[in-house]
Amino acid sequence: MLFNSLTFIVFFVIVLGLHYTIRSWRTQKFVLLIASYLFYAAWNPPFVMLLWLSTIVDWYVAKALEAQEAPAKRRFLLTLSLATNLGMLGFFKYGEFLLENFIGLAHLAGMEFHPALPSIVLPVGISFYTFQTLSYTLDVYFRKSKRCQSFLDYALYVTFFPQLVAGPIVRASDFLPQCLQPKRATRDQFGWGLYFITLGLFQKVVLADGLLASTADTIFKAKDDPVFFLDAWLGVFAFSAQIFCDFAGYSTCAIGVALCLGFVLPDNFRSPYAAIGLSDFWRRWHITLSSWLRDYLYIPLGGNRGGTARTLANLIITMFLGGLWHGASWTFVVWGLLHGFYLAVEHLLRQLFPSVSWVKTGLGRFGLSLLTFLLVSLAWVFFRSSDFPTAWLLLGSLFDFGGNGSQLLLTREIIQVTLVVGGLLATHWYLHEKRLEHAMQNLPAWWVVVIWATMLCGLILTQGGGNAFIYFQF
The most distant pair of C-alpha atoms in the chain lies apart, rounded to whole Å, by 72
| pLDDT value at residue 332 | 92
Amino acid at 37: Y
| pLDDT value at residue 67 | 84
Catalytic option among 286, 326, 339, 428? 326
| pLDDT value at residue 109 | 72
pTM of the model: 0.91
How many Cβ atoms from other residues are within 10 Å of residue 364's Cβ?
14
Q: What is the dihedral of CA 222, 226, 230, 233, to 10 degrees?
A: 60
Per-residue 3-state assignment (H helix, E strand, C coil) for the chain: CCCCCHHHHHHHHHHHHHHHHCCCHHHHHHHHHHHHHHHHHCCCHHHHHHHHHHHHHHHHHHHHHHHCCCHHHHHHHHHHHHHHHHHHHHHHHHHHHHHHHHHHHHHHCCCCCCCCCCCCCCCCCHHHHHHHHHHHHHHHHCCCCCCCCCHHHHHHHHHCHHHCCCCCCCCHHHHHHHHCCCCCCCHHHHHHHHHHHHHHHHHHHHHHHHHHHHHHHHHHCCCCCCECHHHHHHHHHHHHHHHHHHHHHHHHHHHHHHHHCCCCCCCCCCCHHHCCCHHHHHCCCCHHHHHHHHHHHHHHHCCCCCCHHHHHHHHHHHHHHHHHHHCCCHHHHHHHHHHHHHHHHHHHHHHHCCCCHHHHCHHHHHHHHHHHHHHHHHHHHHHHCCCHHHHHHHHHHHCCCCCCCECCCCHHHHHHHHHHHHHHHHHHHHCCCCCHHHHHHCCCHHHHHHHHHHHHHHHHHHCCCCCCCHHHHC
Query: Does residue 326 carry a catalytic annotation?
Result: yes
CA distances (Å), 206 to each of 90, 250, 416, 424, 460, in order?
35, 13, 12, 13, 9
pLDDT digits (tens, 9 = 90+) for 450-472: 888 888 888 888 866 666 666 66
| pLDDT value at residue 466 | 63
Burial class (CB in 10 A: 0-12, 13-18, 19+), 45: exposed
What stretches in the chain show pLDDT beneath 70?
107, 113-118, 356-361, 402, 463-474
